[in-house]
């Protein structure tokens, strides 16, 4: 791909991939765009457009080879490119992400968790160690980790962010409800769960009107 | 608002709101669009466009009254409209969402959690009870709950979804990595954390090229 894919295309391709993984498990060899469209309740032409972006053509009548399409999506979305990240905050959300199904198969390597709570430090979650947050700068440097997943309580979000920036973390996947104040060379990805939820419910209400 | 807001506008408005809440805490009366734009590392004209959608005009030089803008966003995004939901799956992710900072202030009422694990049933998480999933149909009916937040392991996602559909749940906020097969009258909101993450990292790699 020499063009940047839009967020929406990437999200849909990821969903198509989940469907294809399911097809593999069921040993179904072919999948058609209407089958994908039906599962996602989206328009068939949208599915065909997205897959055309991958320069992949299905076979007339039988559709796409599920395995080939799956591999092509994995190449396009760079599942093989390992993305190493630290989870900062070993509370429920941090632990949930450390345990999240199949993150690894997407090239997503959570190498460790960090917390400042002595009752959590030293624990293992899904095979990953929880370290004292004081260790983070040393370990980020040692393993060249530039991505932090921020799952601390909102009250500590900015304070911990300042610490991450000092620790040479360059990308922060922000799961806190706070807007983080960072220098321009730091990229923050706001997960913004509340925004995601409101985006459904607001328009839901509008549709009802 | 008699127009449906785009997802991106809603997400940005939610972020502006977080900034305004922070300004309130710091007793800062006015905020300017460049201040918002700087914090989010986005373009100032974008911020002005979004706020213009709310039909709100700032005062020349001093900017917007933070409190007024905050209230206007709350009205636009219907924070006062209570959205009652069940969390299905009281694992780490379910518990994290039950504890998530200030969900209530966004009109988001998680009234209960459900699980099938006897060690979880009967517990209280952030003041909310964990019930046996068998109780869900009765309680959904009793309290008129139509929204379920699905946080079960992927392996059980479809089975539990079928149960939710039978229980007259109409909207499923899906945190599992699976694509759910549901009838057309059921709306699924795929949180798709992996897609969100890839959307950053894929384009990150593209930008590096």
Q: Is the pLDDT of residue B192 over 90?
A: no
- What is the chain B residue with the closest CA to A41? B184
**Residues B50-97: pLDDT tens digits?**
999 998 887 777 889 999 999 999 999 999 889 999 999 999 999 999
Cα gap A51→A29, rounded to integer Å = 17
Residues of A with CB below 8 A from B78's CB?
198, 201-202, 205
Rounded average pLDDT over B8-20: 93
pLDDT for residue B33 is more than 90: yes
Full 3-state SS string of B163-194: HHHHCCCCEEEECCCCCCCCCCCCEEEECCHH
- What is the mean pLDDT of the segment spanning B174-180? 92
Distance CA B32, CA B91 (A): 42
Q: Does B143 touch chain A (CB under 8 A)?
A: no
pLDDT at B177: 87
Nearest-angstrom CA–CA distance, B52 and B50? 5
**Low-confidence residues of chain A, pLDDT below 50?**
1-2, 206-209
The sign of the torsion formed by the CA atoms of A26, A31, A33, A34 equals negative
Q: Do B178 and A22 touch (CB under 8 A)?
A: yes
Q: What three-state secondary structure class fits A64?
A: strand
* Nearest-Cα residue of chain A relative to residue B200: A189
Backbone angles phi, psi at A81, to 5 degrees: -75, 115
Contacts of B88 (CB under 8 A, 6+ apart): B94, B113, B114, B115, B133, B136, B148, B149, B150, B151, B152, B160, B164
Does the beta carbon of A99 lie under 8 angstroms from any beta carbon of chain B?
yes
Cα A64 to its chain centre, rounded Å, is: 26
Which helix (H) or strand (E) segment holds residue B65: the answer is strand B64-65
User: Number of Cβ pairs closer than 8 Å across A and B?
Assistant: 181
User: Do A171 and B4 make contact, defined as CB atoms within 8 angstroms?
Assistant: no
Distance CA(B165)–CA(A193), nearest Å, equals 24
The ipTM is 0.86
Residues of B in contact with A96 (CB under 8 A): 91-93, 96, 151
**Calpha distance A158→B24 (Å, rounded):** 16
Looking at residue A62, what is its pLDDT? 82
Q: Any chain B CB within 8 A of the CB of A34?
A: no
Contact B91 A93 (CB under 8 A): no
Q: What is the model's pLDDT at position B7?
A: 84
Position B208 scores a pLDDT of 44
Q: At what angle do helices A7-25 and B193-208 cross, to 10 degrees?
A: 120
Identity of the residue in B19, B191, B206 whose CB atom sits nearest the CB atom of A179 = B19
Higher confidence at residue B118 or residue A106? B118
Helix axes B136-143, B157-166, angle to 10 degrees: 50
A positions 155-194 inside 8 Å of B (CB): 171, 173, 176-179, 181-182, 184, 187-194
**Which secondary-structure segment (H or E) carries B131?**
strand B128-132
User: Which runs of E-coded beta strand occur in chain A?
Assistant: 30-31, 64-65, 83-88, 108-115, 124-125, 128-132, 147-150, 171-174, 187-190
* Helix, strand, coil content of chain A in percent (nearest 5): 45, 20, 35
DSSP assignment of A113-127 equals EEES-TTTTT-EETT
Using a CB-CB cut-off of 8 Å, the residues of chain B touching A153 are 101
pTM: 0.88
Residue whose tokens read 């917390």: A115
DSSP state of A63: B
Using a CB–CB cutoff of 8 Å, tell me whether B208 touches chain A.
no
Contact between A83 and B196 using a beta-carbon 8 Å cutoff: no
Interatomic CA distance for residues B190 and B175, integer angstroms: 7
Alpha-carbon span A36 to A42, nearest angstrom: 8
Asked if B5 has any chain A CB less than 8 Å from its own CB, the reply is yes
Gyration radius of chain B over CA positions: 20
User: Is the pLDDT higher at A101 or at B125?
Assistant: B125
Closest CA in chain B for residue A36: B179
């Amino acid at each position: 791909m020499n063009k940047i894919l839009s967020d929406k295309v990437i999200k849909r391709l990821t969903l198509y991939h989940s469907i294809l993984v399911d097809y593999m498990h069921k040993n179904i060899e072919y999948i058609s765009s209407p089958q994908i469209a039906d599962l996602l309740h989206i328009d068939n032409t949208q599915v065909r457009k997205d897959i055309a972006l991958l320069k992949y053509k299905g076979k007339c009548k039988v559709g796409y080879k599920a395995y080939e399409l799956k591999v092509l999506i994995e190449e396009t979305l760079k599942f093989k490119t390992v993305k190493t990240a630290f989870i900062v905050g070993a509370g429920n959300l941090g632990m949930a992400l450390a345990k999240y199904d199949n993150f690894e198969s997407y090239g997503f390597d959570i190498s460790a968790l960090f917390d400042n709570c002595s009752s959590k430090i030293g624990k293992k979650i899904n095979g990953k160690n929880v370290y004292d947050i004081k260790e983070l700068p040393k370990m980020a440097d040692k393993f060249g980790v530039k991505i932090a997943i921020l799952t601390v309580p909102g009250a500590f979000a900015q304070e911990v962010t300042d610490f991450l920036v000092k620790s040479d973390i360059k990308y922060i996947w922000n799961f806190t409800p706070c807007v983080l104040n960072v220098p321009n060379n730091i990229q923050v990805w706001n997960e913004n769960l509340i925004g995601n939820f409101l985006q459904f419910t607001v328009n839901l209400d509008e549709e009802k009107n």
